[in-house]
Amino acid sequence: MLQAPVLIAVSLLYLGLLFAVAWWGDRRADRGRSLIDSPTIYALSMAVYCTTWTFYGSVGRAAVSGIGFLPVYLGPTLVMALGWFILLKMIRIVKANRITSIADFISSRYGKSHLLGGLVTIIAVVGIVPYIALQLKAVSSTVGLLLSYPDIVMPHRSPTMPVAVDISFYIALILAAFTIVFGTRHLDATERHEGMVAAIALESGVKLVAFIAVGVFVTYGMYDGFGDIFEHLATHPELQRLASAIPSGQGYTGWFSLIVLSALAVLFLPRQFQVAVVENVNESHLRRAAWLFPLYLLLINIFVLPIALGGLMHFSGQGVDADTFVLTLPMSQRQEGLALLVFIGGLSAGTGMVIVETIALSTMVCNDLVMPLLLRHRGLALAESKDLSGLLLGIRRGAIVLILLLGYFYFRLAGEAYALVAIGLISFAAVAQFAPAIIGGMYWRGGTRGGALAGLLAGFVVWGYTLLLPSFAKSGWLPGDFLTQGLFGIDLLRPQQLFGLSGIDEISHCLFWSFLANIGAYVGVSLLRPPMVAEATQATVFVDALQETGPIGAVLWRGRAKVSDLQELVGRFLGPARAEVAFAGYARRHGGRHGDRLEADARLVQFAESLLAGAIGSASARVMVASVAKEEPLSIDEVMHILDEASQLRTYSRELERKSRELTAATLELREANERLQELDRVKDDIMSSVTHELRTPLTSIRAFSELLRDDPKMHLPDRERFLGLIVSETERLTRLINQTLDLAKIESGRADWNACELDLKEVIEQSVAATSQLFREKEAHVALDLPDNLPLILGDRDRLIQVMLNLLSNAAKFLPAGSGRVCVVLRLLADGLQVRVTDNGPGIRPQDQELIFEKFRQVGDTMTAKPAGTGLGLPISRRIVEYLGGRLWVESVPGEGATFLFTLPFAPQHEPAVGQQEQAAQGGRRG
Amino acid sequence: MQRRILGRDRLIATFLAGCVLFNYPLLSVFDRPSEIFDIPMIFAYIFFAWILVIALMAWASEARSG
């Protein structure tokens, strides 16, 4: 199943699936129901970090340097811990200023400079195109490997192969088509591509699954787990150093450098900037993605070393390239399905990187390289044409095709050369040169355009001299003397022992010298002169990005412009229809109904400029807006004055916010207090009305029976006695009710008399049970007691506790079934007191009623059929008493299976169990 | 407000802890030819530290109670 037609069909089907997902994602975005609005998808899209260099290359590097492949993933893990701060700030800046690429970011920060944007674009293209070539190489060489199945033959490219029969050429073209369709569908003012992100997230999922599948197959299928692989290693002494130590060629310095380098790369690689910053849907996703993304990196690395070691042992001496182990190990075991899955995983890793990187680079090339040139040289002609949006899209599409073809031809040219194999880290080192200008720009107001230019240029030159050119020399494209004897034979200029610095690996060497030059020039030149107006303005916009205030740029614009001019200008680049919609939306948000009533104030100019910035980059947008507006230049003093005022305003408004927050809190407290008072009032009224109601019921029946007796003197004696008996029992109930109401009122108001003394709870219970025995006898119920002896004493009021027990027992008696009733009274010792349980086998209490029964006058049950059998005050009083004594009273019940009333009481202070026993022992000792 | 600052401090502390865990000299302590659970010491150590750092990050970002 690994023949060419199957491979092609599967690849095309897979790319078709990606197309479908991307199309669906775009459709959902158009309808406002974003498909990618989830932190997990955001984290998966960040995993575009893992290219074929990870998918196939990690195993290759592990086969040479053991755990030396790991720092490239540890650096991103560390930087993501700070992602919540650095990335958040970048996202805020990008959204506020409609920045669309890393070149635009740097250019915008240092006064919207064309020169800087162009320089960053060139560095990015030079650094990244070989990396794209590497992806094409990986995809095409895996195709070659699979086609030779069932043999395992390292594919050999003939440099003279015609382009027309080269499969990687077609791969490049298909990728260009995909990128064009989803990267440049229309000119968006924010340059976001939801469909593309959805497809990338899917690819990240696929490559992870594929890699783990191979890992599990090798570790648990070919070997018997991790331990087994490392055990087999004992028979291969030459491999043992791979598993045990930091590689000697790299050392701790190299290890550290790689962590730093990858930490910077994960922030500043154009593709990472694109997915993590530009494509961010919701900044709160950052919170979860900050640990999900490192988790992804961890998962994709667990099996790297086992696969590498397994491959080295399995293919020992067969000349199989370690970079292909991920694919060749399943092939050697005749696992065709798994091999196909790996191929798809590798395809995902390669295409994902190429698509995102190409979109990011094409945006840069268009906005920061081509547009400025067009605007400068053909400025007049451009200004005259009505609609340039087509031209802009054309430039971007052209850039995409060009970049991919560049990648393809570099791959053809380089082939197996060292320059291509080592490009991963060389690329990282190139984009790391952006770090000082970006990080400095976000946190330091003093950085200037000159400083950034000097720093970038110096860093780029040193990078090229110490890392890129040596890689050319090692590939045989430059004379080897260059490496060993230095430029012009000057010993001090040897590129990888610059000025005699030796003893560290080439990456650390490059990182040290390039950062020294870069940071040194950036800071040094920045300090030469104070920032100019535009630099100072943008410094404030960037450094204060996390402080929530209005757009600062609007404050710093003074001049005159016409609304129609601005709208026409925006229309030329975005298309007249989109411009119309954007201006109408602005008008709606700012009060006016019609576009023509809009005032061309500083805010509107700012709005138009940011719309343009999304399409053509901030530097070109600035130039274009300046061309239609009459602007009055501000002096640096005025700017600083305005900025100072703005920052003072911010301080005042913060103070104001704090005050208003306090006020809100105070209001809330007042309202709560008021609500409490009203509640208390309502409770009082309720009690009054229920008390009078409860009193009226017995009074009414007493009166009714008395009247019957009075009005019918001839009543028979038995009736007369029955009525009199009822009157007496109702009177008793009335008395009880009044007593209990008074009692409860006393307890609640704290005026009750308490005779607290140490007492034995067992005795209290026995007394109460004896007092109620008549009740149970009437119902023919059985009472079981479980009261252990010698329990510690508790502190309480004997009469009140008897009242509680009588309440619980008579309550139980009330609900017992006639004839078969059982009541169980249990006394237990707990850690901090005693617990009493009174269990009956009555009908039980529904869960929703279990708290209600402790409210005053609440008698649950069917009041329509059953006459309430108590006063409704017994349980509330009992609870008050127990709580007063420091305990707790509650009920546990399953309806239909009876109810258990439980209460706990704490020990008397001197009768904690341990102490009590000691005392007893001491007394016993004296007695003996 | 306090809660946000606490979360921020936890993340920064995690970053610093990670920097120490993943680098010299702590790394060299585990860089020796012995095994733990049949797995080379340094390999086991790095993955353990890695999981720890990720768990701390998850805790710092997700904990709501402050």
Please write down the HEC assignment for all residues of A694-738. Answer: HHHHHHHHHHHHHHHHHHCCCCCHHHHHHHHHHHHHHHHHHHHHH
Low-confidence ranges of chain A (pLDDT < 70): 1, 155-161, 163-165, 185-191, 243-250, 378-386, 417-421, 489, 548-557, 591-600, 632-651, 749-751, 857-871, 910-928
CB contacts, 8 Å: B12 with chain A = 81-82
Domain boundary among A574, A599, A634: A634
3-state secondary structure of A224: coil
CB–CB contact A255 B53 (8 Å): no
Pick the residue of A72, A80, A86, A300 with the most B CBs within 10 A to test the interface with B by mutation: A80
What is the number of other CB atoms lying within 10 angstroms of the CB of residue A394? 13
What's the start-to-end Cα distance of chain A, in Å? 96
Question: Reduced to 3 DSSP states, what percent helix, strand and coil does chain A have, rounded to the nearest 5?
Answer: 70, 5, 25
Question: How far, in Å, are A87, A259, A632, A852, B17 from residue B12 at the CA level?
Answer: 14, 17, 45, 51, 9
Q: Tell whether A741 and A841 lie within a shared domain.
A: no
Contact A429, A383 (CB under 8 A): no
Structure-token pair, residue A316:
């020992």
Residue of chain B minimizing CA distance to A290: B57
3-state secondary structure of A904: strand
Minimal CA separation from B65 to chain A, in Å: 16
A867: burial class by Cβ within 10 Å (0-12, 13-18, 19+)? exposed
Residues 6 or more apart whose Cβ sits within 8 Å of residue A585: none
3-state secondary structure of A767: helix
Phi, psi of A269 (to 5 degrees): -60, 135
Structure-token pair, residue A457:
């240029």
Residue A867 per-residue DSSP state? P
Q: Which CATH number fits the domain that encloses residue A791?
A: 3.30.565.10
CB contacts, 8 Å: A290 with chain B = 11, 57, 61
CB–CB contact A226 B22 (8 Å): no
Q: Tell whether A772 and A698 lie within a shared domain.
A: no
Question: How far, in Å, are A153, A661, A675, A681, B1 from residue A667 at the CA level?
Answer: 79, 10, 12, 21, 20
Pick the residue of A65, A70, A73, A77 with the most B CBs within 10 A to test the interface with B by mutation: A77
Q: Tell whether A829 and A685 lie within a shared domain.
A: no
DSSP sequence for A572-612: HHH-HHHHHHHHHHHHHHTS-SSGGG----HHHHHHHHHHH
3-state secondary structure of A187: coil
Q: Tell whether A233 and A161 lie within a shared domain.
A: yes
Minimal CA separation from B61 to chain A, in Å: 6
Rounded distance between C-alpha atoms, residue A912 and residue A915, angstroms: 5
Question: How many A-B residue pairs are in contact by the CB < 8 A criterion?
Answer: 94
Provide the residue ranges of all domains of chain B, joining segments of one domain with +.
2-62
Interface membership of B24 toward A (CB under 8 Å): yes
Per-residue 3-state assignment (H helix, E strand, C coil) for B11-33: HHHHHHHHHHHCCCCHHHHHCCC
Structure-token pair, residue A318:
């067969």
Nearest to B54 among A231, A243, A294 (CB): A294
Rounded distance between C-alpha atoms, residue A647 and residue A717, angstroms: 100
Residues 6 or more apart whose Cβ sits within 8 Å of residue A229: A219, A223, A306, A309, A310
Domain boundary among A576, A603, A634: A634
Q: Tell whether A833 and A865 lie within a shared domain.
A: yes
Rounded distance between C-alpha atoms, residue A894 and residue A841, angstroms: 10
Nearest to B50 among A74, A230, A231 (CB): A74
Contact A170, A164 (CB under 8 A): no
- Name the residue with tokens 């704090």: A658
CB–CB contact A82 B15 (8 Å): yes
- Contacts of residues A646-654 at CB distance under 8 Å and 24 or more positions apart, as own/partner, are A646/A540, A646/A549, A646/A552, A646/A555, A647/A544, A649/A549, A650/A547, A650/A549, A653/A549
Q: Tell whether A288 and A183 lie within a shared domain.
A: yes
Rounded distance between C-alpha atoms, residue A521 and residue A765, angstroms: 91
Q: What is the pLDDT of residue A597?
A: 59
Contact A629, A605 (CB under 8 A): yes
What's the start-to-end Cα distance of chain B, in Å? 10
Minimal CA separation from B44 to chain A, in Å: 10
Interface membership of B42 toward A (CB under 8 Å): yes
Residue A147 lies in a domain: yes
Q: Tell whether A51 and A168 lie within a shared domain.
A: yes
Residues of the domain holding A589: 549-634
Strands (E), A616-695: 630-631
Rounded distance between C-alpha atoms, residue A256 and residue B23, angstroms: 7
Q: What is the pLDDT of residue A113?
A: 84
Minimal CA separation from A290 to chain B, in Å: 8
**Amino acid (one-letter) located at A6:** V
Residue A447 lies in a domain: no
3-state secondary structure of A823: strand
Q: Tell whether A679 and A695 lie within a shared domain.
A: yes
Rg (CA), chain B: 15
Residue of chain B minimizing CA distance to A230: B39
Structure-token pair, residue B43:
């390999």
The residue among A427, A371, A369, A367 whose CA lies nearest residue A133 is A427
Does the model's ipTM exceed the 0.90 cut? yes
CB–CB contact B33 A245 (8 Å): yes
Rounded distance between C-alpha atoms, residue A494 and residue A483, angstroms: 6
Interface membership of B48 toward A (CB under 8 Å): no
Number of domains in chain A: 4
3-state secondary structure of A35: coil
Rounded distance between C-alpha atoms, residue A325 and residue A215, angstroms: 11
Minimal CA separation from A97 to chain B, in Å: 26
Residue A532 lies in a domain: no
The residue among A125, A775, A723 whose CA lies nearest residue A400 is A125
Residue A472 lies in a domain: no
**Amino acid (one-letter) located at A276:** A
Residues 6 or more apart whose Cβ sits within 8 Å of residue A718: none
Nearest to A246 among B27, B33, B53 (CB): B27
CB contacts, 8 Å: B32 with chain A = 244-245
CB contacts, 8 Å: B28 with chain A = 246, 252
Q: Tell whether A785 and A729 lie within a shared domain.
A: no
Task: Evaluate the omega torsion of the peptide bond into residue A71 and state whether it is cis, within 30 degrees of 0.
Answer: no
Q: What is the pLDDT of residue A860?
A: 60
3-state secondary structure of A839: strand
Interface membership of B26 toward A (CB under 8 Å): no
DSSP sequence for A251-270: HHHHHHHHHHHHHHHHHHSH
Task: Evaluate the omega torsion of the peptide bond into residue A847 and state whether it is cis, within 30 degrees of 0.
Answer: no
Q: What is the pLDDT of residue A867?
A: 46
Q: What is the pLDDT of residue A754?
A: 76
CB–CB contact B53 A294 (8 Å): yes
Residue A112, phi-psi category: left (phi > 0), alpha (psi -120 to 50), beta (remainder): left
Minimal CA separation from A83 to chain B, in Å: 9
pLDDT in tens, B35-56: 777 778 888 888 899 999 999 9
Residue A907 per-residue DSSP state? B
Nearest to A230 among B8, B35, B54 (CB): B35
Q: Tell whether A760 and A679 lie within a shared domain.
A: no
Residue A62 lies in a domain: yes
Q: Tell whether A738 and A649 lie within a shared domain.
A: yes
Q: Tell whether A157 and A291 lie within a shared domain.
A: yes
Q: What is the largest CA-CA distance in chain A?
A: 144
Q: What is the pLDDT of residue A919?
A: 41
Minimal CA separation from B12 to chain A, in Å: 7
Rounded distance between C-alpha atoms, residue A480 and residue A118, angstroms: 33
Residue A539 lies in a domain: no
